Structure 1
Amino acid sequence: MNVFDQVKRPGDGSVWITGASGGIGRALTLELASRGWTVHATARSAEKLEALAVVAGPGRVIPRPADVTDPEAMVRVVEAIEAEGPLALAILNAGVYLPMRAQDFDAAKARKTFDVNLGGVVNALDPAMKAMIARGSGHLAITASVAGYGGLPQAAAYSASKAGLIAMAESLALDLMDLGVRISVINPGFVETEATSVNDFEMPFLMQPQEAATRIADGLARPGFEIAFPRRFAWFLRILNRLPNQLYFKAWRRLTA
C-alpha cells in the first residue's frame, strides 16, 4: 500500500501537537480529542495547557510544556510520549507571524521567525521521525501556509520560513515513502488568531480556528500529501505564482493597494 494511503486512527497510538496553547493548535487539540485521540499538547505555557486539558475532559489532553526552540526538550517530550505508547501522529504546528515591510526590516524578527517556524519544526521532527522510522509506522504533519507558495507583502521572513517547510516536507516525502512513515504538509489560508490580528489589510476567505481544525482533522483522516484550504484561495495563489515575475508583482500591488 502506498504510504500516503495510510490513515492513523486513535487505536494506533497517540497524537502530539506543538503550538497547542492557542489559535489553530488549540482548536485542533480539542477537535482530535473529541474524535477519540489522546493528545499530548506542547507549548511554552504550562498554565494554558492545563486549562486546555480541563476543557477537553479527563484523560483526553496530556500537557507537555516545552519550548520548540530547545532541541533537548523536544527529545524529552517524545521519549515521554513513547514511554506511554506509540506516537502515531505528530502535528508540528508551532509558529510565529511577525510582519514587517522592507523599510522596517528587522534582522532580530527575521531570526526569531526562522528559529521558531523552521528550527522549531526541525527540533520536534528529529526525535518524532526517528521513533516512527524505527517502528516502520507513523504520520508526520507539518503546518506551513499558503504564504509559502510565493512571497507576499510584509511577509519576507514568514513566507520564506513557510516555503522552507513545504520544500522540506516534499523532500522528506521522497525518503519516507519506503520507510513506512507518511508525511503531510498543512497549508492554511487566513485564520482569525492573535497572530493575524495585527494585519492592517482585509484578509480574504478569513476563517475561524475551529473551521480550520475541522478541515485539518478531516484531511489527516484521508489519504494524500497536502491539506490546503480554503481551496479557492489556495488554487488562486497557485495560479498567481505561475505568472511571470513582473505580472506576479503587478497583481499583488493591485490586490494590496
Structure 2
Amino acid sequence: MHPLNTPVRDWTGLRVWLIGASSGIGAALAQEALQAGARVALSARRAERLQSVADAHPQALVAAFDILDQQAWQQRHEQICAEFGGVDLIVFCAAEYHPERSWEIDAGRAAHTLQTNLGSVYTGLTTVLPAMLERGNGRIAIVASVAGYFGLPNASVYGPSKAALINLAELLYVDLRPRGISVHLINPGFVQTPLTAKNEFSMPALQTPQAAARAIRDGISSGKFEIHFPRRFTLALKLVRWLPYRLRFPLISRLVRT
C-alpha cells in the first residue's frame, strides 16, 4: 500500500527540531535521530538536561527555551536556521500531565496544561510553516496519545488536549500534503516517562522510551501518517473507539474500577 507521506530513505543530514527533548520519548528520539546521522536541535526549558542528551554528538544543537514564550520561538528558529540552514522536520513532543478526575480539576493548572500541550504547538506551527511552504517541502510530527481516542477518567485535561492534537494533525495533513509537507500523527500507548510515573494504576503493554523512539523513527521512515504503538494495545483501543456509547461507557467504567 502506498504510504500517505514521503518516506525518509536516509536520516543523514536531516535537519530536525525536537521540542521536548530533555527526557522521556523526546530524549530517546533525539538519540535515535542523532545516531542515524541527523542534525538535531534539542529544545526544552532545562539546558543541562539537553546538554546531557547532546554530549558526544557534534551534530546536536542545544536550543533551550520556554515553549510558552511566543517570542522565544522565533528567536530559536532563527538560531537553528543560522546553524543548520533550515528545518526539515519538527517534532512536537513536549507535554504536561496531571492524573485527576473531573471533580479534581484546577482551573489554573488546566489552562497551563492546555497551553503546554496544545497552544505551544500552534505557536510552533506559525513559526516553522512559512519557510516550509515557501520551499514546498518539510515534515511535521505531532506526539498525541491514545488517551485522545476517547474520554478516559484520570485524564480530564490531558486527554482532551491530546484529542485536539489528533484532530489538528488530521486537518494539517489535508491542508499541507498537497503543498509538499508531510504530517505524522504519533499516538503512543503507555511509555516509561516522568509523566506516566505519576500514575498509580497498572499500565498494560508499558514500553521503554527507547522502544517508543524506534517505533517513531520507523514510522516516519516508512511515511506513515498515524504511528501508534505497541500495536497489540493500540489496536484494542481502536476497537473500543468504534463501540457505541451504550457499550463503551460500561466497559470503561469496569476498567476504572479494576
Q: Show the counterpart of 2:58.
A: 59
Deviations 1:111-131 (A, max 9, x none): 111010001111112211222
CA contact under 8 A between 1:92 and 1:125: conserved in structure 2? Answer: no
Distance 1:72 1:10 in 2: 30
Distance 1:78 1:2 in 2: 29
TM-score (norm 1): 0.94
**What code does the residue aligned with 1:62 have?**
L
**What code does the residue aligned with 2:200 have?**
D
CA contact under 8 A between 1:150 and 1:241: conserved in structure 2? Answer: yes
Which structure 1 segments of 5+ residues have no match?
none
Q: Alpha-carbon deviation of 1:107?
A: 1.3
1:58-97 aligned at under 5 Å gives the runs: 58-84=57-83, 85-97=85-97
TM-score (norm 2): 0.94
Aligned residue pair count: 255
Q: Show the counterpart of 2:15.
A: 14
CA contact under 8 A between 2:3 and 2:222: conserved in structure 1? Answer: no
CA contact under 8 A between 1:8 and 1:88: conserved in structure 2? Answer: no
Deviations 1:83-112 (A, max 9, x none): 231211111111111111122121122111
Which structure 2 segments of 5+ residues have no match?
none
User: Secondary structure at the residue paired with 2:179?
Assistant: coil
**What code does the residue aligned with 2:132 have?**
M
Which runs of structure 1 show a deviation greater than 2 angstroms over 4 or more consecutive aligned residues?
A: 5-13
Distance 2:6 2:14 in 1: 18
**What code does the residue aligned with 1:14 have?**
R
Q: Show the counterpart of 1:134.
A: 134
Deviations 1:141-173 (A, max 9, x none): 000001111111111211100000010110111
CA contact under 8 A between 1:118 and 1:165: conserved in structure 2? Answer: yes
Q: Show the counterpart of 2:39.
A: 38
User: Secondary structure at the residue paired with 1:16?
Assistant: strand
Change in CA separation of 1:12 and 1:33 when aligned onto 2, cut-off 3 Å: closer
Q: Alpha-carbon deviation of 1:10?
A: 3.3
